[in-house]
Amino acid sequence: MFSHIVLGANDLAASKKFYDALFTAIGGEPGGQQPGTNRVFYMHNGGALMITTPINGEPATHANGGTIGFRMDSPEQVHAWHDAGCAAGGTTCEDAPGERDMGAYKLYLAYLRDPAGNKLCAMYQG
């Protein structure tokens, strides 16, 4: 069901130190920072976690800077998820649903905020 979890951070260096310690304690690797961004990625046992300062420049809170990602089977499923969410009271956020070029790979993404303001992402990795 889930593809990834993103958590907001106000002090990225302190958060990286904390999560590096957690992941290495369980046999994982320290986080890798995506060049030119304030994002640190962790991959372990098939799961993915990202720590980031919020893109909008506001302070990180439990709802700002956080994203719950859902794994999708196709770009069509991404659109169906997005359309259903909008129809059920969600609001679109970020860019329109579509492909994002991440350099070494391409993702097909759509973003929504639920009625409470939580940020969700549908992700298809072809």
The pLDDT, as a whole number, for residue 62 is 72
The pLDDT, as a whole number, for residue 20 is 93
pLDDT at 109 over 80: yes
Instruction: Give me the sign of the Cα torsion angle 108, 52, 111, 97.
Output: negative
SS3 113: strand
**What confidence tier does 105 reach under pLDDT thresholds 50, 70, 90?**
confident
65-75 mean pLDDT: 90
pLDDT at 45 over 90: no
Q: Where in the chain is the domain with CATH 3.10.180.10?
A: 1-69, 72-126
69-80 mean pLDDT: 93
CB-based contacts of 15-18 (< 8 A; 24+ apart in sequence): 15/40, 15/51, 16/40, 16/51
**What confidence tier does 41 reach under pLDDT thresholds 50, 70, 90?**
very high
pLDDT at 37 over 90: no
**What confidence tier does 3 reach under pLDDT thresholds 50, 70, 90?**
confident
80, two tokens: 């169906």
Which has the higher per-residue pLDDT, 116 or 85?
Answer: 85
Nearest to 67 by CA among 35, 94, 99, 97: 94
At residue 104, φ and ψ (nearest 5 deg) are -70, -15
Whether the full predicted model's pTM is greater than 0.75, yes or no, is: no
Which parts of the chain are beta strand (E)? 2-8, 32-33, 39-44, 47-52, 67-71, 91-92, 98-101, 106-113, 119-124
CATH T-level fold of 1-69: 2,3-Dihydroxybiphenyl 1,2-Dioxygenase; domain 1 (3.10.180)
CA distance 63 to 101: 26
**What confidence tier does 36 reach under pLDDT thresholds 50, 70, 90?**
confident
CATH T-level fold of 72-126: 2,3-Dihydroxybiphenyl 1,2-Dioxygenase; domain 1 (3.10.180)
